[in-house]
A and B are shown apart, each in its own frame.
Chain A
Amino acid sequence: ELKVEQNPLFLSMQEGKNYTIYCNYSTTSDRLYWYRQDPGKSLESLFVLLSNGAVKQEGRLMASLDTKARLSTLHITAAVHDLSATYFCAGGGSQGNLIFGKGTKLSVKP
């Protein structure tokens, strides 16, 4: 069964810095998802990556997918405090359900 591993699990950044969150998955997944979750809130969809080499950008976040390496990355450019949240990647399970990583808790400090 698909397993999804994220690293780091905790990330403390300074405003204005760049960083990358990594998401490795164990078996073929036809699509890869990134979600954001604020404390006490639900999951907000950020990106859906459908094919090898897919790259999507929204504001200061950019996600990419390398299906050969079974790796997705979420790159943060010039971080701002508003990006503080927990970020999850998830792969598509065999029944259409999502298999989530443990999440990366991002804290952006001034």
Chain B
Amino acid sequence: GAGVSQSPRYKVAKRGQDVALRCDPISGHVSLFWYQQALGQGPEFLTYFQNEAQLDKSGLPSDRFFAERPEGSVSTLKIQRTQQEDSAVYLCASRLTPEYGYTFGSGTRLTVV
């Protein structure tokens, strides 16, 4: 597609519920990144894929967070047993190569109640 597509756009989850957030990057983009943006803050890095390989997951805040990109295109960020502190906007970005800039999706706003 022309841009990075994320779904759902908004998600309200009850505390303890599992959620799955989807990112569809620009076709052919090798690198895919997930970021978490709390209200009024800058985005913070969660994890990074190059094709289907997850090369860095150092930013995932706990083992409740899990990301995958099994075929090197669409990626899913899963959060198990959601907590209120997980409420944030989750942004996905993709990039063709390091020489190119990053394109961000519109994000998924997760609210845990």
Contacts and interface: CB of A to CB of B under 8 A. Distances in A.
Contacts, number: 52
Interface stretch (A59-67, A73-81, A100-108): A100-108
B56 interface: yes
Contacts of B44: 100
A100 B104 CA distance: 14
Mostly, the A contact residues are strand
B48 to A, nearest CB: 5
Interface in B82-113: 91, 93, 95, 98, 101-107
Contacts of B42: 88, 90, 100-103
B62 interface: no
B106 A41 contact: yes
Nearest to B45: A97
A42 B48 contact: no
B98 A96 contact: yes
Contacts of A43: 43, 91, 93, 104
Interface in B17-46: 31, 33, 35, 41-45
A101 B103 CA distance: 18
Most B CB contacts (10 A, CB to CB) among A33, A35, A95, A99 go to A95
A45 interface: yes
Mostly, the B contact residues are strand
Contacts of A44: 104
Given A95-B48, A95-B56, A103-B41, A42 B33 contact: no
A93 to B, nearest CB: 7
A21 interface: no
Interface string B46-60: 001000000110110
B107 to A, nearest CB: 6
Interface of A: 33, 35, 41-45, 48, 88, 90, 93, 95-103
8 contacts: A42-B104, A42-B107, A43-B91, A43-B93, A43-B104, A96-B33, A98-B43, A103-B41
